[in-house]
Amino acid sequence: MKAYILDRYKKQAALRLGDMPEPEVRDRDVLVAVHAASLNQLDAKIRDGEFKFILPYRLPLIMGNDVAGVVVRVGSKVRGFKPGDEVYARPNQDRIGTLAEFIAIDEADLALKPTNLSMEAAASIPLVGLTAWQVLVDRAELKRGQKVLIHAGSGGVGTFAIQLAKHLGATVATTTSTENVDWVKSLGADVVVDYRKEDYTKVLSGYDVVLNSLGKDTLEQSLKVLKPGGMLISISGPPDVAFAREAGLNGFLRQVMRLLSFGIRSKARRHGIGYSFVFMRANGEQLGKISSLIESGIVRPIMDRVFPFQATNEAMDYLATGRVKGKVVVKVR
């Protein structure tokens, strides 16, 4: 089968389009013919080698973390899916590879595609949808009447998180650039801070939760907008010890995570704020709940551009511009 392959870690390197064996289908696996995949900042970080210590992939590696497609074959113990089903998923982090003609996915990580979405739109959802769900619902336990700041509101995670937070009944603030102010308001943001004109730390205060997807400076400055007892949750790092335990990392790497997160954990503690790092995990059950929100019209996918499979490297370059609104999608079939 044709696939986009990472042969060695290198910043902004092109992926190689080559031939790879069709994946093995285990007892609980579902073989999916890939119709569409979408790109995430995670793909760039994996390619660049930023996660090689916490995600020790064996190279060459088929890239890609989001998929929508059609079931071709199921393993002997699969009960929830059958050939012909239209499905979507974020595969388990150990079994990525959606930038290919086929992928085998554990049925526990898979969900039926929302009936009202095209394959391309469905492929834009899993990673960002699950990330937003696991930050706002699982970790923050966001409640009606609370206030949440979602950084980078026009990005993939931001566009989904704004809509989900509004559905949960929260007051939502976000940061974005001038040209996107009205657009993120249309997604449901109550307060929009144009970072080119205003300092969000002087505009916002008394927030319960901050979802950070940006760098170290933004992470630390976000402490100023949180009230005592609030939660600072980052999806861009630094990883903490709790993550290291959940990921089953060894003692040495746990100590590394402890040191990496020491500064922000100490500063958060002095403000009476909790800090945690969330690395999204595959979860078909949660994705099914997200499907219900989409089919009910509560949340809608946001796509910026759709590229043909042959232009996957161009799609990666476009993602790297930092000007993407929502998601970049690759049409495989």
Examine domains 2-125+301-331 and 127-277 and report if their fold is the same.
no
Length of the chain: 333
Average pLDDT score, the chain: 96
pLDDT 10s digits, 123-153: 999 999 999 999 999 999 999 999 999 999 9
Residue 250 pLDDT grade (very low, low, confident, very high; cuts 50, 70, 90): confident
Inform me whether the pLDDT recorded for 249 exceeds 90.
Answer: no
Residue 80 pLDDT exceeds 90: yes
pLDDT of residue 68: 99
Residue 46 has a pLDDT of 95
Q: Which residues pair with 276 in a beta bridge?
A: 233
The string of pLDDT tens digits covering residues 27-71 is 999 999 999 999 999 999 999 999 888 788 999 999 999 999 999
| Full 3-state SS string of 62-113 | ECCCCEEEEEEEECCCCCCCCCCCEEEECCCHHHCCCCECEEEEEHHHEEEC
The per-residue pLDDT for 49 is 93
pLDDT of residue 260 exceeding 90 = no
pTM: 0.96
What average pLDDT does the segment 262-291 reach? 96
Which fold, 2-125+301-331?
A: Quinone Oxidoreductase; Chain A, domain 1 (3.90.180)
**Which range has the worst mean pLDDT, 29-43, 237-251, 297-311?**
237-251
Tell me the C-alpha to C-alpha distance, in Å, between residue 26 and each of 112, 155, 312: 20, 35, 28
pLDDT (tens digit per residue) in 150-206: 999 999 999 999 999 999 999 999 999 999 999 999 999 999 999 999 999 999 999
Query: Domains of the chain: which residue ranges?
Result: 2-125+301-331, 127-277
Q: Any idea which fold 127-277 has?
A: Rossmann fold (3.40.50)
C-alpha to C-alpha distance for 2 and 17, rounded to whole angstroms:
7
| Backbone torsions φ then ψ of 30, nearest 5 degrees | -120, 125
